[in-house]
């Protein structure tokens, strides 16, 4: 489970940086990899989306801050 958490975290960081690039410069990682129609860009976007779902589903169990609030 720790490996999945690390992979999901890395993918979410990539997704966040992608939004930052889009907001600041109007470009994104997909454009650098051949545009939205390229298979590699689609795979990256799908993996980032799956990582977000994974983190949402497993967040309460993995998050130390949420675990502390539960104890209060």
| pLDDT tens-place string over residues 19-46 | 998 899 988 888 888 887 888 888 888 9
Provide the whole-model pTM: 0.72
68 falls in which pLDDT band (50, 70, 90)?
low
The closest of 22, 19, 11 to 44, measured between CA atoms, is: 11
For the chain, the domain total comes to 1
Is the per-residue pLDDT at 8 higher than 80? yes
Give the CA angle between residues 23, 54, 57 to the nearest 5°.
115
Task: Quote the mean pLDDT of the chain.
Answer: 83
Which run of H or of E encompasses 22?
helix 2-25
Residues 52-70, mean pLDDT to the nearest whole number: 76
Range of the domain at 42: 2-71
Is pLDDT larger for residue 71 or for residue 45?
45
| Residues ≥6 apart with Cβ < 8 Å to 62 | 1, 5
* CA gap 19, 12 in Å, rounded: 11
């Amino acid at each position: 489970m720790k490996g999945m958490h690390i992979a999901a975290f890395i993918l979410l960081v990539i997704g966040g940086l992608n939004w930052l690039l889009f907001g600041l410069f109007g470009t994104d990682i997909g454009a650098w990899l051949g545009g939205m129609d390229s298979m590699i860009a689609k795979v990256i976007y799908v993996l980032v989306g799956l990582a977000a779902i994974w983190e949402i589903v497993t967040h309460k169990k993995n998050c130390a801050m949420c675990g502390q609030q539960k104890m209060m």
